[in-house]
Amino acid sequence: MQTNLFTNSNASAANQTSVGTNPLATGSETSLMFTKLLVAQVQNQDPLSPNDPAAFVSQLTQLSQTEALQKLSTLTSTNANVLQGMQALSLGAQVGSDLTVAAETVQISGTPARGSFTLGSPSTSTTLVLTGVDGVEHKVSLGMQAAGNVPFVLDPAALGLPYGDYKMRVETSTKESPPMELTGRLNSVRLGSGGAVVLNIAGVGEVSPSAISAFNGKSTVASTN
């Protein structure tokens, strides 16, 4: 009766289970398992119709590759969890600090929002357009701007902006559409679904750490007597 490497004797199968269930088994244990499986298959093959030795090598290679992939997957998952935990701890130490992040929306509340964008060329007419959830556009004229970084402040009291969330875009005389950045205080750090790190930034909302472009330290508030 001819047997296959994957349907071996009870003793061999038991040994495979005891070793294979540990995804971090040592190389010597793996080699021993393969050797026992090979001997068992040779012993149980039909002597009148022996298996091709090349098939043995192919089967062993497939098993070895499968085990290596399982180990790699386990180690990768473990390392990812460790890195996410370390990232959360590191960013947690920055709570209370100001961060600059890439953003397409801004949350207008009682505190002025600070942001900026970078122009590749001078603009004779520059306008920041804020679109509310109701679809109404509010335009903030920034006038003539040179190429480079253009900071802006959105003070709801001075601009007459109702509180709420707004989409942001820039209109320039050169038809340029630069990406926007906002600077706000890091309020909290949490682990979201799947272990992903989520930051809550004042004036922005929740973003991922990949949106961070600058750490600005903690704001200093002048005390008055």
Residue 222 located in a structural domain: no
DSSP 125: E
Higher pLDDT, 138 or 222: 138
The rounded distance, in Å, linking the Cα atoms of 176 and 158 is 27
One domain, residues 63 and 101: no
One domain, residues 104 and 212: yes
Q: Judge whether residue 19 has pLDDT over 90.
A: no
The rounded distance, in Å, linking the Cα atoms of 101 and 182 is 6
pLDDT per residue as tens digits for the range 66-120: 777 777 777 777 666 666 667 666 777 888 889 999 999 999 998 899 999 999 9
So what's the pLDDT on residue 31? 61
pTM over 0.85: no
One domain, residues 124 and 173: yes
Higher pLDDT, 215 or 223: 215
So what's the pLDDT on residue 110? 86
One domain, residues 169 and 111: yes
The rounded distance, in Å, linking the Cα atoms of 81 and 15 is 31
So what's the pLDDT on residue 83? 65
| Final residue belonging to a domain, choices 46, 75, 92 | 92
Residue 83 located in a structural domain: yes
One domain, residues 106 and 176: yes
Q: How far is CA 152 from the centre of its chain?
A: 29
Residue 4 located in a structural domain: no
Arithmetic mean of pLDDT, 206-210: 89
One domain, residues 81 and 112: no
Residue 45 located in a structural domain: yes
Pairing between β-strand 212-218 and β-strand 97-102 as defined by DSSP bridges: antiparallel
Mapping DSSP to helix (H, G, I), strand (E, B) and coil, where does residue 25 land? Answer: coil
Share of the chain above pLDDT 90, in %: 43
Share of the chain above pLDDT 70, in %: 67
Closest alpha carbon to 111 in 160, 162, 165, 157: 157
For 84-111, give one letter per residue: b (16+ CB within 10 A) or e.
beeebeebeebeeebbbbebebbbbeee
pLDDT per residue as tens digits for the range 163-183: 999 999 999 999 999 999 999
Q: Which domain holds residue 65?
A: 10-92
Q: Judge whether residue 162 has pLDDT over 70.
A: yes
Question: Considering its fold, how many domains does the chain have in total?
Answer: 2
- Please state the φ and ψ torsions of residue 23, each to the nearest 5 degrees: -65, -10
Higher pLDDT, 81 or 196: 196
One domain, residues 88 and 157: no
One domain, residues 45 and 110: no
One domain, residues 137 and 206: yes
So what's the pLDDT on residue 107? 95
Mapping DSSP to helix (H, G, I), strand (E, B) and coil, where does residue 83 land? Answer: helix
One domain, residues 177 and 125: yes
| Final residue belonging to a domain, choices 30, 59, 92 | 92
Arithmetic mean of pLDDT, 194-223: 82
One domain, residues 108 and 46: no
The rounded distance, in Å, linking the Cα atoms of 32 and 38 is 10
Residue 223 located in a structural domain: no
The rounded distance, in Å, linking the Cα atoms of 20 and 18 is 6
> Would you state the structure tokens that stand for residue 180, as one six-digit string?
């926007």
Residue 187 located in a structural domain: yes
- Burial zone of 186 (CB within 10 Å; 0-12 exposed, 13-18 middle, 19+ buried): buried
Residue 225 located in a structural domain: no
pLDDT per residue as tens digits for the range 139-148: 999 999 999 9
Higher pLDDT, 18 or 224: 18
One domain, residues 149 and 182: yes
Residue 24 located in a structural domain: yes
| Final residue belonging to a domain, choices 74, 92, 110 | 92
Task: Indicate the pLDDT class of residue 9, thresholds 50, 70 and 90.
Answer: very low
Residues near 172 by Cβ (< 8 Å), separated by ≥ 6?
119, 123, 125, 126, 127, 145, 178
